[in-house]
Amino acid sequence: MASGVNSLLNSSSCVIVLGFLVLINLAPTETSVNDASCGKRKINLQQLVTHGYTTNPGEFPWHAALYMKSGFQKSYICGGTLVNELSIVTATHCVVDSSSGHVVSPESLYVQLGKFKLNLYADTVQEHAVLQVITHAEFQPTTSKYDVAVLKLATQAKFTAYVQPICVFPQPMISFNDGSEKGIVVGWGYTEYDAVADALQATSVPLISYTKCLESNPDLFDRTIYDGMFCAGYTNGTNVCNGDSGGGLYITRNGVWYLIGIVSFTAAREEQSNLCSTHDYTGFTKVSAFEEFIVKSCGLDVPPRVDVTDHPGGKRQKYIYASNFEPHEKMNWFQAGDYCRSLGKHLVEIKSAQDNAKVQDIVRLGGMEIDVNGGSKNKQYWIGANDLAMNRVFRWQFSGKRVMFTHWRNNEPNNMHNNEHCVAVIGNKQAYWLDANCRGKRQVLCEYWK
């Protein structure tokens, strides 16, 4: 069945926390629960958080427990996150029968909110039947891509000190570059003693760049990295583990909590494939990449955004930066994205003929470079377009939007050798595009606005 402990990377079911430390200086006090705003605790906690720890009731009031029932039997299978009165965001693999590949019936599921002890039904707990299971149509169980789902509750959640929704959109700015940004993952997963935790646990994990993630375990992440996921965690034995797939990764901004990731997969422990490896990063579904799906499925009200070109002093302008690396300095596509972000920029997005004309003007100035045979050739530059989901639908790395304008060279994209999933621009006067192996080394085009 859709077991919450059977999906490492063979599909994915890993989750929760290892290396729990102690909570210091906790003094809970309740505040008003009438405020309907998202992402705010109604129980104030003063605490020092280091690595993993046992939470307090009401500390993460948006965390949900998902159960499956069969006859008189019931079992906890996954976590989830409450985003409004009727909607839980979780992972698709949690609600797909691993043997048949079919989505389980809503009647076989139910959700508990306000839960602290896994094996105790306290007065704070609310139980809700599931009315509808909405999975992403492009979910790929073998690679854990598009691993996001929404459960619609049959009855409305009542907001209390122990049950509150988290904020989702608009997503805050997040850094995946150097591990300095950390998020919180919670759940009832396996501890370092391979025992399921009874009390809700939490751990703080750093967000990891694509490059570092890929280099840590190429066999695992080469087929799973795409723009709809990110890596987080440690490789030192302190990590999320089996037991809480589908749970959220949360960050806080000015006292408001946001859902930015969904626990999706990690590597299986080599000697015992039913347990996760705590020496590998965990793969999370990137919430920002699925805004349209989540907003539509949950019926969320999203605050209006200011368009990137709007500015109090008038229209902002788009600038493009082209690298001029020596041959040994050129980068693969993942490194290129990290490089642009380290400069406060992102890989260029070409959305119109006018955009492509700007790129043409810039890359023509880059000149030629020496090829391996001693001849000369046009430089090539990585841009943000990619098909890392491997469905031949190209999307932009930064915005996550589908590529609509294209300027392909003849016979491109051709996905030669079935491994060309990233896009480069040829540095000639036409600035034609081609698909290429993401591991190839090229120059870089970054964009920024000011």
What is the DSSP code string of 18-63? -SEE--BS---EE--S----SS--SEE---B--SEEE--TTSSTTE
Contact 364, 427 (CB under 8 A): yes
pLDDT at 263: 92
> Each residue of 180-193: pLDDT tens digit?
789 999 888 655 55
pLDDT-based confidence at 143, cuts 50/70/90?
Answer: confident
Kindly tell me if the per-residue pLDDT of 153 is higher than 90.
yes
Q: Is 347 or 49 the better-scoring residue by pLDDT? A: 347
CA pseudo-torsion sign 297, 6, 273, 206 = positive
Query: Considering the chain, what percentage of its residues have pLDDT values greater than 90?
Result: 36
pLDDT at 303: 55
pLDDT at 243: 54
Domains in the chain (CATH in brackets) are 20-298 (2.40.10.10), 318-449 (3.10.100.10)
Instruction: Output DSSP code: residue 9.
Output: T
pLDDT at 338: 86
pLDDT at 251: 93
Contact 19, 236 (CB under 8 A): no
Query: Which single residue is written with the structure tokens 């073998």?
Result: 142
Kindly tell me if the per-residue pLDDT of 413 is higher than 80.
yes
pLDDT at 40: 86
Kindly tell me if the per-residue pLDDT of 103 is higher than 80.
yes
pLDDT at 312: 40
Q: Which of 47-56, 217-226, 415-424 has the highest mean pLDDT?
A: 415-424
Average pLDDT over all residues of the chain: 80
Tell me the residue type at 23.
L
User: Count of residues for the chain?
Assistant: 450
Measure the CA–CA gap between 155 and 222, rounded to whole angstroms.
Answer: 42
Kindly tell me if the per-residue pLDDT of 414 is higher than 70.
yes
Kindly tell me if the per-residue pLDDT of 306 is higher than 50.
no
> Each residue of 224-265: pLDDT tens digit?
888 888 999 887 766 666 557 899 999 998 889 999 999 998
